[in-house]
């Protein structure tokens, strides 16, 4: 049995790492589309076409379940994929819903009507494509009412992290938080809507101030995945080996991934 995890680059490794710790007996096949990253500045059709191609590659590896550990793909492609592309015996899930469930303190699978929740002013930090899609606001509206969401497109942060330039990444994060605060001075919660951003969580928290609770995705998605596989064990596919695949240069991506997770990671060509 194997579960596929897809990201446009290396950010999804934060989700993979948490999932491996939560589910140590499950093989994971990770695919990073580094040749076409970043997705956050691409058109919805581009994102859809690239995401479906990558997901099919993971299906071919024996994964019945694929997690889109890329907020941009989850925002711009997931619904269209689920409605018209995903085979009946496969599942593709995104990373928004576990985050929103944590934010609204609703249990997995709670389909009751939307209600008032503890947070009122939410800052969303994400890529330009994720912010413009308004997918987060749409999913939130299914579960909560009366929540004001202010999106901040964080251009350049993913590129800086992928390049290993964390000094630049920190400067960009602080600049984007300042821009957000000009629109929403005192958010009481902040969503890190990109799987790269957990690496900068301390910077986001410091820049936002202690009044804002920062929600990051990796551990939340891992816990939701464990719950899902408990309820749907048949969705763990036929694959039996963990591997790392990339559309980019395997040696270069392996080096960056090893730095990213601080343990040896070896990619092969997708």
Query: Angle at the Cα of 74 (from 71 to 77), degrees rounded to 5?
Result: 135
Total-model pTM = 0.87
Q: Are 107 and 101 in contact (CB under 8 A)?
A: yes
* CA-based nearest residue to 227, from 88, 22, 49: 22
Inter-residue contact 256 to 160 (CB < 8 Å) = no
Which pair of structure tokens corresponds to residue 27?
Answer: 């093989």
| 104-138: pLDDT as tens digits | 887 656 778 888 998 999 999 999 989 999 988 98
Give per-residue pLDDT as tens, 133-183: 998 898 898 889 999 999 999 999 988 988 889 999 999 999 999 999 999
Catalytic residue among 1, 15, 69, 70: 70
Could you give the count of Cα atoms lying within 13 Å of 57 in the half-sphere of its Cβ? 21
70 is catalytic: yes
User: What pLDDT is recorded for position 268?
Assistant: 97
Report pLDDT for 1. 64
Which portions of the chain are predicted below pLDDT 50? none
Contact (Cβ atoms closer than 8 angstroms) between residue 40 and residue 130: yes
Angle at 197 between CA 192 and CA 203, to 5 degrees: 90
H/E stretch holding 4: strand 3-7
Residue 9 contacts by C-beta under 8 Å, 6 or more apart in sequence?
Answer: 32, 33, 34, 37, 38, 158, 162, 196
Active site residue 194: yes
CA-CA-CA-CA torsion sign (167, 169, 175, 181): negative
Distances (CA, A) of 220 to 16, 74, 208, 260: 12, 16, 21, 20
Q: d(Cα 233, Cα 3) in Å, to the nearest integer?
A: 11
Q: What pLDDT score does 108 carry? A: 57
Dmax of the chain from CA atoms?
50
Look at residue 139 in the predicted model and tell me its pLDDT.
86
**Options 194, 208, 236, 270, the catalytic residue:** 194
User: Hey, CA dihedral for 108, 72, 211, 202, is it positive or negative?
Assistant: positive
Q: Which domains does the chain have, with CATH numbers?
A: 3-94+218-269 (3.40.50.1860), 97-215 (3.40.50.1860)
Q: CA-to-CA distance for 197 and 40, rounded, in angstroms?
A: 13
């Amino acid at each position: 049995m194997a579960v596929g995890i897809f990201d446009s680059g290396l950010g999804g490794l934060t989700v993979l790492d948490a999932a491996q710790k939560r589910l140590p007996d499950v093989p994971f096949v990770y695919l990073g589309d580094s040749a076409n990253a970043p997705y956050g500045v691409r058109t919805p059709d581009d994102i859809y076409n690239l995401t479906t191609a990558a997901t099919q590659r993971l299906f071919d590896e024996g994964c019945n379940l694929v997690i889109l550990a890329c907020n941009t793909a989850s925002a711009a492609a997931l619904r269209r994929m689920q409605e018209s592309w995903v085979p009946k015996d496969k599942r593709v899930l995104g990373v928004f819903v576990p985050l929103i469930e944590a934010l609204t303190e609703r249990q997995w699978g709670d389909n009751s009507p939307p209600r008032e929740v503890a947070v009122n002013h939410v800052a969303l930090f994400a890529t330009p494509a994720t912010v413009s899609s308004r997918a987060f606001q749409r999913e939130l509206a299914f579960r909560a009412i009366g929540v004001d969401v202010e999106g901040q497109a964080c251009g350049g942060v993913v590129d800086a992290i992928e390049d290993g330039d964390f000094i630049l990444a920190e400067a960009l994060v602080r600049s984007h938080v300042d821009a957000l605060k000009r629109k929403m001075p005192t958010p009481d919660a902040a969503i890190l809507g990109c799987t790269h951003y957990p690496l900068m969580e301390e910077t986001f928290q410091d820049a936002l101030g202690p009044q804002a609770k920062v929600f990051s995705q990796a551990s939340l998605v891992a816990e939701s995945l464990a719950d899902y596989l408990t309820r749907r064990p048949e969705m763990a596919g036929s694959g039996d080996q963990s591997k790392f695949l990339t559309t980019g240069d395997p040696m270069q991506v392996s080096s960056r991934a090893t730095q990213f997770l601080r343990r040896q990671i070896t990619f092969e060509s997708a």
